A = this chain, B = another copy of it.
Amino acid sequence: MSDGKAEIEVTAGFLVIGDEILSGRTKDKNIGFLAEYLTAVGIDLREVRVVPDITERIVEAVNELRARYTYVFTSGGIGPTHDDITADSIAAAFGVSVDVDPRAKAILEAHYPPGQLTPARLRMARIPAGAELIENPVSKAPGFTIGNVHVMAGVPSIMQAMVDAVVPTLKTGRKMLSTHIDADVPESRLAERIGEIQKEFPATLIGSYPRTNDGRFTTQIVVRSRDEAELAKAAKAVGEAVAQATA
């Protein structure tokens, strides 16, 4: 497969932090959201990891991902409770201290009625040294950016608002263009010709996705490329292959 040209690529990794996803009690909604969002703006999501609320596992994953991709996003573990260990873990990953941040504290002081900023709530103002805050329009307690790592809440509505705040500040790559062709046959009927077309158009990425519709197997062929002309040519070839297979 072609990876396109390096100079026009901006990449990302996503780290989902939370026992509740791994136990199945909470069904993740953030992976699909972020994947679609980044694709739309021209950032290639290359890897996702889900890890439990264990400091060493968070530190290890953050350090691997931030060395490998242009940007890392994390979700989860920045609330006020004992199991919210993300800020401390990110600080450990970067080897910096973590303490109550005056800017974050000011935001929380303005939000809670006088005397209500309890020690637990003040935990949400603990930010690694050197980080910039990410605004949280939903419930105020901010996320933060340190280095190339963007640390966000796990609650989908808050996570999505933070993505909206962060992504416009990032560099984005040449956008991956995409088109798809639906075929009313199982993918095995198309496989050989589609494989040939992939070889004929190396600047495209052709994916074949089997579906079940009412117990019948159908296929969606997705063609992606950063080159509009190549995309059109490959999609035309796929369309012809599908027409032939369904004739």
Contact = CB atoms under 8 A, between A and B. Distances in A.
A205 B195 CA distance: 49
Interface centre among A121, A191, A195, by most B CB within 10 Å? A191
Main secondary structure of the interface of A (DSSP, over half): mixed
Contacts of A198: 82-83
Interface stretch (A30-38, A99-107, A143-151): A30-38
A32 B187 CA distance: 26
Interface residues of A, number: 70
Interface centre among A16, A39, A57, A210, by most B CB within 10 Å? A210
A194 interface: yes
Nearest to A52: B46
Contacts of A25: 36, 39, 178, 222
Nearest to A119: B192
B47 A57 contact: yes
B188 A121 contact: yes
A24 B50 contact: no
A47 to B, nearest CB: 6
Contact of A191 (B26, B51, B82, B195): B82
A20 interface: yes
Contacts of A137: none
Contacts of A121: 188, 191
Nearest to A31: B28
A155 interface: yes
Please give me the 8 A-B residue pairs with the lowest Cβ-Cβ distance, nearest first: A24-B36, A24-B35, A120-B191, A82-B195, A48-B50, A81-B208, A27-B32, A80-B188
